[in-house]
Amino acid sequence: MTMWRIWHVRNEITHQKNPPPTEASCRFLHGYINSLLCIRQHPRADIVKGKMVVHLGRSAATQIKHSGEEKRWMPPAVGLAKLNMDGSYVPATGAAGGGMVLRGAAGEIIYTACRQLRTCTNGLEAELAACSEGLALALHRIELPIVIEMNSLEAVSMLNSRSVDRSNHRVLVQEILGLIAADPRKISISHISRSQNTVSHALAAYGRSTPRTAVWLGSGLHNIVNLCMAERPP
C-alpha cells in the first residue's frame, strides 16, 4: 500500500498536479490499514456505522488465529471459476463503489476490478450494481461455469427468488438475471460471510474512496494481490 501511494504521488507530479501533502498520505494509509484490520477482526459488523475497536499488533493476530468463528474464502472446484463482489456505500456523502474479483480453482487471479458508482442511493443498490458489472466482465473473460458469491443476504435472496421483483431495484435485478438466462453455462449465486469476501470488499472501498474505475487482468493493486495470495490454497 505504501508503494502504491508513492506511485500515486509520483503520477500527480508527472501530470503537473500538486502532490498531496505527507499528512494526507499518512491519514489515507492509516485509515486503509484500519479498515482492513476492522474487516478481519469484525467480519459481521457494519463498517459504515463504526463503533468497533481495532486491535493492533501481535495480540490482534493471536485473537484472529484462535477465533473459531471466522471463515476463509474457498477456491472453486476444478473446472469452475468463482466471482466475488461487494458494494460500498456511505449514506452521509452518497459516495459508492463496487469491487469484483474472478479467480480459478488454484486461487489464481483472472481479473480484479473496482468501480466508482456515481448514481447510487443505498448499500443494496451498490451490491447489485457490482454484481451486474462483475458478471458482465466474467462472461467475456472465461468460458467456465461461474460460482457467484456475495456477503449481502438481501441481494442473494432477491436474485435467487422465483417471484416477480417489484422493488426499487428491479431493473438491476432483471439485468443480472438476463445475463444469466442468456448464457448457456451454469451460473449459481451463493451467500457468504464478510470474512470470506475481504478482497472484493477492499476493492469496493478503493473504488469508492479514490474514486476510480479500473480493471486489472491477471493482477491488481499490490495490496489486493497480497490478499489474494494469502487466500490461495496451499
Instruction: Write out the DSSP string of 62-128.
Output: HHHHT-SS-----PPPTT-EEEEEEEEEETTTTEEEEEEEEE-TT--EEEEEEEEESS--SHHHHHH
pLDDT > 70? residue 49: no
Are 46 and 201 spatial neighbours (Cβ–Cβ below 8 Å)?
no
> What is the CATH class of 81-231?
alpha beta
Sheet harboring 81-90: ordered strands across?
187-191, 146-150, 81-90, 95-103, 109-117, 214-217
Tell me the average pLDDT across 142-147.
Answer: 98
pLDDT > 60? residue 186: yes
Are 43 and 70 spatial neighbours (Cβ–Cβ below 8 Å)?
yes
* CATH 3.30.420.10 boundaries in the chain: 81-231
Confidence of residue 29 (pLDDT cuts 50, 70, 90): low
Cell readout for 226 is 497480497
Q: In sequence order, what are the residues at sequence separation of 6 or more whose Cβ sits closer than 8 angstroms to the Cβ of residue 207? A: 88, 97, 98, 99, 114, 115, 116, 117, 213
Q: Is the dihedral of CA 96, 115, 22, 29 positive or negative?
A: positive
Average pLDDT, the chain: 87
Tell me the average pLDDT across 52-62.
Answer: 52
Q: Comparing 9-13, 103-107, 138-142, 148-152, which segment has the lowest mean pLDDT?
A: 9-13
* DSSP H/E element including 132: helix 123-141
Q: Comparing 36-45, 81-90, 199-208, which segment has the lowest mean pLDDT?
A: 36-45
Confidence of residue 138 (pLDDT cuts 50, 70, 90): very high
Are 101 and 199 spatial neighbours (Cβ–Cβ below 8 Å)?
yes
Which range of 3-12, 41-50, 53-62, 180-189 scores highest in mean pLDDT? It is 180-189
Q: CA-CA distance, 76 to 78, in Å (whole number)?
A: 7
Nearest to 102 by CA among 71, 81, 74: 81
Are 155 and 127 spatial neighbours (Cβ–Cβ below 8 Å)?
yes
The model's pTM is 0.71
Whole-number Cα distances in Å, 49 to 64, 91, 155: 22, 10, 20
Confidence of residue 53 (pLDDT cuts 50, 70, 90): low
pLDDT > 70? residue 32: no
Tell me the average pLDDT across 220-227.
Answer: 96
Are 9 and 19 spatial neighbours (Cβ–Cβ below 8 Å)?
yes
